[in-house]
Amino acid sequence: MNIKQVRAFLAVAQSMSFASAATQLHLSQPALSLSIKSLEEDLGGKLLTRTTRHISLTPEGQALLPIARRLLAQWENAEDEMKQRFALQLGKITIASMPSFAASLLPKAIQNYHASYPNVQVAINDVLSDVVVEMVRNNQVELGISFEPSNLVDLSFYPLYEDRFIAIVPQNHPLEKHDTISWRALLEYDFITLQRPSSVRAKIENSLNKVGIELNVAFDAHQLTTVGRMVSEGMGVAVVPELCRQQAIEQGSLCRNITEPSIQWRVGVICQPRSSLSVAAASMLDTLIHTYS
């Protein structure tokens, strides 16, 4: 049974006239009769009784009528919904983003997107940068925003900008008078960072190893928000992505440049190959690139 047969059956059943039904469907009467006959053969029995003057539904035809109406309505609704999705008049996308980006820069892109496509819903999962990659890889979300992974494998990465890591120190700290702090000077004090296996911690450790500096950690935490709070409470110092600058300032810490070495890391959008993205997700990708690149 196909949708053309359902339309033919409904047209005849509702008008009780092959001539009227054929006109409505823009078919010849022989073509309409053939469609009804094919439907009856597919289902295994007569749906209509027909004489030279009268057409009526068989009991089976009467049983099919409400089903056919429901099927046609569902088909038309599905067709309409898909047209709206392709025209970005309907839909929903979910983005996984590291919390520091979600809380600082992402709202601007979402505003731009919503201004163009107000009927597309946008959901944000703010998760650790390492989790972002896994959510994209496992098809839990279409788009992820994170630092550039070391191993993309089958994923695509679209860079947005380069983040420069900064030092944060508590108020009234001996280093507060310096605009720029070297790593060796900073590590004279208790150092706070993220717990392993964190890509941010790994980036810091790898950068220091290259210049022969050993990282001794006094305290570690699971979230950068917690690291920032521990610094503001005077427990030590830290180095965090510049994405966290506003958050650190709001928590009461001081932000300074860090050198010898300086650490940069590209932030961008991670996704499956563009050809596999929904229209809504592809448009959001374009919006993100246009907003931040």
pLDDT in tens, the chain (293 residues): 899 999 999 999 989 999 899 999 999 999 999 999 999 999 999 999 987 778 899 999 999 999 999 998 888 878 877 877 776 776 788 999 998 899 889 999 999 999 998 888 899 999 888 899 999 999 999 999 999 998 888 899 999 999 999 999 999 999 999 999 999 999 999 999 998 888 899 999 999 999 999 999 999 998 889 999 999 999 999 999 999 999 999 999 999 999 999 999 999 999 999 888 888 899 999 999 999 87
Task: Please tell me whether residue 202 adopts helix, strand or coil conformation.
Answer: helix
Range of the domain at 185: 162-264
Same domain for 244 and 169: yes
Q: Are 240 and 224 in contact (CB under 8 A)?
A: yes
Query: Which of left, alpha, beta for 207 (phi over 0: left; psi -120 to 50: alpha)?
Result: alpha
Same domain for 259 and 219: yes
Task: Please tell me whether residue 145 adopts helix, strand or coil conformation.
Answer: strand
Cβ count within 10 A of residue 262: 13
Same domain for 166 and 260: yes
Structure tokens at 174: 């001996």
Instruction: Please identify, among 87, 117, 142, the residue that sits at the C-terminal boundary of a domain.
Output: 87
The backbone torsions φ and ψ at residue 25, rounded to the nearest 5 degrees and listed phi first, read -90, 0
CA distance 235 to 248: 14
CATH number of the domain that residue 52 is part of: 1.10.10.10
CATH number of the domain that residue 137 is part of: 3.40.190.10
Same domain for 274 and 152: yes
Same domain for 270 and 156: yes
Same domain for 237 and 172: yes
Same domain for 53 and 11: yes
CA distance 278 to 143: 10
Cβ count within 10 A of residue 119: 13
Q: Are 240 and 255 in contact (CB under 8 A)?
A: no
In the chain, the number of structural domains is 3
Cβ count within 10 A of residue 260: 13
Same domain for 154 and 103: yes
Same domain for 121 and 81: no
Same domain for 70 and 54: yes
Q: What is the DSSP string of 229-242?
A: HHHHTTS-EEEE-G
Is the pTM above the cut of 0.75? no
Cα distances (Å, whole numbers) of residue 190 to 167, 173, 199, 236, 239: 13, 12, 21, 5, 12
Bridge-based pairing state of the strands 48-50 and 55-57: antiparallel
Instruction: Please identify, among 87, 102, 136, the residue that sits at the C-terminal boundary of a domain.
Output: 87
